[in-house]
Amino acid sequence: MEGTMKLLGVDHIDIVVSDLNASIEFYRKFGMSPEGTLDNGQTVFMWNCDYDRPVRIELHKAEPGQQTGIDHLSFAVSDPKGGTKEIQFVGGVDFKFEPFENQQSGRTISNCYDPDGVQIQICKQTAPGTYKNWE
C-alpha cells in the first residue's frame, strides 16, 4: 500500500564543520551565500539565492569531540505532522520527538534515523524564522 506522503525535494543538508569560516568561503565558490545565522554565529544557513530552485545547506561549527560530516538530511514535505503519523502507522521508524515548529528556522520538523544511523528530517517552512540576517 502506498501512502499519501510525498517528498517534495531536499529542504537542506546539515553539515558539521571544523572551520566555519573556511567552509563558508568554500561554499561561496559554488555560488552560495549566507542566508542567516544562529547560535551566536556557530550555525550559518547558506543558499544559492534562487527562489525557483533553492539549494540550502546548514553549516554547524563542530563541538569539541564532535565528528564532522553530515548531521542530517532534511526533506521538504507538504505536511510534516501528517507524514510523521503516516510513517508511524506503517511502522518500523522511531521519531526522536513529535513534530513541532522550530522557532529559529521557522520550519515544522520531525526527525528520525535511517538503518545506518543517518539522521533524517521531514519539514515544511511554516514561519519566517528568527535567525538573524547575515548582513
pLDDT tens string 97-120: 999 999 888 899 999 999 999 999
Q: Where are the domains of the chain?
A: 9-130
Does the structure show a pLDDT above 60 at 135? no
Query: pLDDT (tens digit, 9 = 90+) per residue, 38-58?
Result: 888 899 999 999 999 999 999
The Cα 62–Cα 16 span in angstroms is: 5
Q: Which three cell numbers stand for residue 1?
A: 500500500
Q: What pLDDT does residue 1 have?
A: 42
Strand arrangement of the beta sheet that strand 69-76 belongs to: 100-102, 107-113, 119-125, 69-76, 9-17, 56-61, 43-47, 33-38, 132-133
Task: Enter the DSSP assignment of 106.
Answer: T
As given in the structure block, the three cell numbers for residue 38 are 544562529
Into which CATH architecture does domain 9-130 fall? Answer: Roll (3.10)
C-alpha cell read off for 118: 543517518
Cα 40 to chain centroid distance, Å, stands at 18
pLDDT band per the 50, 70, 90 thresholds, residue 2: low
Task: Give the per-residue pLDDT at 20.
Answer: 96
pLDDT in tens, 48-89: 999 999 999 999 999 999 999 999 999 999 999 999 999 999
Q: What DSSP string runs through 16-81?
A: EES-HHHHHHHHHTTT-EEEEEEGGGTEEEEE-S-SSS--EEEEEEPPTTPPPEEEEEEEE-S-HH
Q: What is the pLDDT of residue 134?
A: 62
Instruction: Please give the Cα distance from 59 to 56 (Å, whole number).
Output: 10
